[in-house]
Structure 1
């Protein structure tokens, strides 16, 4: 076991040097990636958003009401006396008694299986999205969202919101934001290094639903935008344009969901936002622009017109630019919003605060002191208990901490205050493996074995115990990472990396050092 093939020695040295290479930028001005510091160490913005799930529920009920209208208007048409969203249900009143059975049959197609993970976990594998209440005497059919549907709406809305928020913040170049669900209606956003929460609020809080509508020049909007409009027309406010209000066709000619790319660029002396559609969007945009040359179309973002250019000719390439009173920052912000996609629900800020870099530096200083104290304590103990073998374990321990920093730098993982606690715990766990090995070597040496045989027996007999202890701890770290959030994940990351580096340094690297010592000096007695 003390023999190392040349390729094994080369591999051990390569891993060690690679870890040192990645860790070096944290201690010297050499170019390279350094460890990302979390909000508690670096300072930054802490925000909690509340998701408007009530609005999403109302939209879902309105959609059910419209679907019901389509079903009942199929031939033969079923006259309806009323179809409205009242409270938490869609109430449909059929005009004639004879149509009740057919109306109820048609509306059954609105019931669809959910089949989500929540339903599966609760055993409701056939959970449906709606339930019906039929009141024949009143010629009324009530459609309600089921509890399983409400849970599905909540989970999907929160998951989609988190993903959109992450894409928006990542597009700004911010490193390792923490975006997690908090309870049933809130999302926690922590952005290290960003000391202006308002910039995050502007970026995250905008719903960013973009649509393209044809402008109706023949409709008078009135001085205050409150004029009556014909069917199919709506009046919208314009942003930073000469006309405060403008009339547009209610039906969108192209939806923003057809966008595949959006980016800011500088053209002809001003900032604009480039956009590009997918195949379906490009076809629709080309068709509409070809049919309406000379007319204006409005680019609408969250019910506000941000641009209303004239169609000079068919736009058949599926791409174009949005012009407006943009500067570099606003053009980039709009491009980020469009590229990331629309939020599925409105967000309201319920908590915001900034963590100053001074507080973060104080945490770093205290964490560094804790690491140093723990490190020195372990070094002194190993030297006192195992003499020269303690020197080997201490060298391995130094490499272990270096490898952890190198892994954090290379993976661009975020180091938090709990992460520092994970490093301190790793220092103790690393020498624990050496203690098991050295005690076994000491025992074998007392039993009369030669130094080489005692060392071989010590490492081989201690291996199973070392693996068992570290594998179970690694599993615990994995569970913490999957189920935890924020600080818990920071602890799990450093603990998991530390376990892997500890096994390498305590069992492999220290054994190489001892093997080289035995081979070079050929001791008759072990100094342990």
Structure 2
């Protein structure tokens, strides 16, 4: 029978629209103002922490919508942004700086929807807001680290050239090389002149000493390198956090701006972005007494470090390997269910580790954990002062020659193992950074943008609906029904895609889609009119109208879809947001305009004897 869909096709249309509506539903519930409490490296969040937070807020007469302990974090839901700010200050006073206390927006989705995996659409920084960090790089520490690396490189180069030296040490911004003889001095002077471009050699033949000093151009180049490397590493860390369409860019000589739109865990973002943890692998000094070193008699070539498990460990100054050679790291458990981190090195790192352990089987090797923490004070130039904190987290006896893959143990908790693995995987910062400005964006500007975007969509929606009803009458009502379904489908699909974020340009893509969504129906309805004028029956007019217009509709939408894909491939940030909503809108509009409207028209007019159509 002409213009009748089989039952399965009608059920398919209903199921797809209902499924999208279900996953679009969380967007109607909005979000709660919230404060999130996460643990630092030396503390944990548990029921005791929950009780302390709850008691402090009750004592301050702050009304809570809810408080819960979820995934080792305390989440407090508040009624307003003023309560949110007041609650954060109260919690900070109660818990201190060992905990990360951050402002957040928590989805108010009902539990039954969350159990189905439904969640609201993520909004970009220009709509929902998010977190804005301004970070300051410690350039002094960057220079120190680069000069330390240069000192180690000079030692290695001189040994390979068989040039004997008494010592290679760093003195301020210089690397000082003390040679053993006049012959070694002459050979070193010739070698260093050729090998180290961008450095000034200051010779002292009387003491057989050579100073390598960076030129001004080399210092600027090194500082630019430190900033650019930190930007790259921060981008890697943001990617590890799973934030869509982030902004990580340099600002000025020593600052970096990071914007995280739609971030769900601001405390973790602050912890991971600001952390400067790295590792060094060194041999333990077993030839000298740790007790003598603790008494102040530290032997030449060794250093004393605190052990996480108590006491101190005496280590050799020479570094076997640094975290710069780590290309992958993952957390897991050992055979005794204790947390560990599995390390994979690059080729050069694997070679270094192999050479270092080849002749040292049976010797203890230590893993030195290094991080920098801001002291809260500034120097004479107004720069943040960082404190370098070092501790030995693991000492293990080398059982066999190591290569590019091994593991480290002695880590306090699984959460710490996961954080350490993330930091090592994303790369160690060239220099420590301090978050000098943090603000949550969105309560004013974001809300205004959302309101303007919704107004644009509604205005375009209403005008299209009025036009379709006036011009195509009952068939126009069917097209409007499909248009409503199309918007539901777009919102549902955007909510289901894990990394999708709706930005202001994305809303522009939805507005454009609203106008384009009826194009297909306009072509179909005009073709039906032509068929009726050609004296075909209403049923034949509907059948030929849809079949004849299909190829034209497909051509027009496919070319637009190709343009959207190209925009997504070559664009960045807002351009990608526009491309995503445009592409989704094209696909959903083809479904609703061709299959959806035909299902409704077939259900109303199909298979019946009718004399005329309201089109």
Q: 1:195 & 1:82 partners in 2: Cα distance?
A: 46
Tell me which residue corresponds to 2:473. Answer: 387
Counterpart of 2:513 in structure 1 is 426
Would you say how many aligned residue pairs link Structure 1 and Structure 2?
Answer: 483
1:115 maps to which residue?
none
User: Is 2:232 aligned against 1:159?
Assistant: yes
Within a 5 Å distance, the mapping from 1:17-96 to structure 2 comes to 17-18=15-16, 20-27=18-25, 29-30=112-113, 31-38=116-123, 40=125, 44-49=130-135, 67=153, 70-71=156-157, 74=160, 77=163
Check the 8 A contact 1:52/1:345 in 2, yes or no. Answer: yes
User: Which residue of 2 is the match for residue 342 of structure 1?
Assistant: 428
Report the counterpart of residue 475 of structure 1 in structure 2. 563
Offset, 1:525: 2.9
CA distance in 1 between partners of 2:154 and 2:282 (Å): 27
Of the three residues 485, 489, 507, the one matched with 1:399 is 485
Aligned equivalent of 1:460, options 548, 556, 561: 548
- Report SS of the residue matched to 1:322: coil
Separation in 2, partners of 1:62, 1:320: 25
- CA distance, structure 2, for counterparts of residue 32 and residue 278 of structure 1: 34
| Contact 1:37/1:416 (<8 A) preserved | yes
The answer to whether the aligner puts 1:321 opposite 2:390 as a matched pair is: no
Match of residue 182, structure 1, among 249, 261, 265: 249
- SS across alignment from 1:494: helix
- 1:170-221 Cα offsets, whole Å, 9 max, x none, are 4xxxxx4543332577352416355755x53332222221123344463655
Within 5 Å, which residues of 2 pair with 1:87-486?
Answer: 103=191, 107=195, 158-167=231-240, 169-170=241-242, 176-183=243-250, 186-190=256-260, 192=262, 194=264, 199-216=268-285, 218=289, 220-221=292-293, 229-236=298-305, 247-252=314-319, 255-256=322-323, 257=325, 261-263=329-331, 273-278=339-344, 291-292=362-363, 297=366, 299-302=368-371, 304-307=389-392, 318-319=406-407, 321-323=409-411, 326=412, 333-334=419-420, 336-338=422-424, 340-355=426-441, 371-418=457-504, 419-443=506-530, 445-446=532-533, 448=535, 450-451=537-538, 452-453=540-541, 456=544, 460-461=548-549, 463-464=551-552, 467-468=555-556, 471-472=559-560, 475-476=563-564, 478-479=566-567, 482-485=570-573
- When residues 316 and 33 of structure 1 are mapped into structure 2, their CA distance, relative to the original with a 3 A threshold, is farther
The alpha carbon displacement at 1:322 in A equals: 1.4
1:289 and 1:83 map into 2 onto residues whose CA distance is: 25
Compare the two structures and name the one with the higher helix fraction: 1
Which secondary structure state, in structure 2, belongs to the residue aligned with residue 35 of structure 1? Answer: coil
Partners of 2:483 and 2:424 lie apart in 1 by 49
**C-alpha distance in 2 between matches for 1:434 and 1:64:** 69
| 1:489 aligned onto 2:569 | no
Aligned partners of 1:371 and 1:103: how far apart in 2? 70
Structure 1 residues 433 and 32, CA gap change in structure 2 (3 angstroms): same
Indicate the SS of the match to 2:276.
Answer: coil
Kindly indicate whether structure 1 or structure 2 has the higher relative contact order, using CA contacts under 8 Å at least 6 residues apart.
1
Q: Provide the C-alpha distance between the structure 1 equivalents of 2:418 and 2:169, rounded to a whole number of angstroms.
A: 44
Question: What is the CA deviation profile of residues 425-444 of structure 1, one whole-angstrom value per residue up to 9, with x for unaligned ones?
Answer: 32222123323433344355
Distance 1:46 1:455 in 2: 56
Shift of 1:497: 0.7
Please give the secondary structure, in 2, of the residue aligned with 1:442: helix
Gaps of 5+ in 1: 111-129, 171-175
Please report the TM-score for the alignment, with normalisation by the length of structure 1.
Answer: 0.67
1:38 CA displacement: 2.4
Q: Matched residues in 1 for 2:315 and 2:168: separation?
A: 29
Q: Deviations over 1:456-485 (max 9, x none)?
A: 357635843673366236514641564221
Q: 1:230 to 1:84 in 2, by over 3 A?
A: closer
Query: Deviation digits for residues 263-312 of structure 1, max 9, x if unmatched?
Result: 487999xx96423345959978987995246xx84532336333456658
Alpha carbons 1:426, 1:498 under 8 Å: kept: yes
Structure 1's 186 and 483: CA in aligned 2 closer, same or farther, altered over 3 A? farther
Bigger mean CA offset, 149-158 vs 300-309: 149-158
SS of residue in 2 equivalent to 1:27? helix
User: Alignment RMSD, CA only?
Assistant: 5.5
* Conservation of the 8 A alpha-carbon contact between 2:166 and 2:178: yes
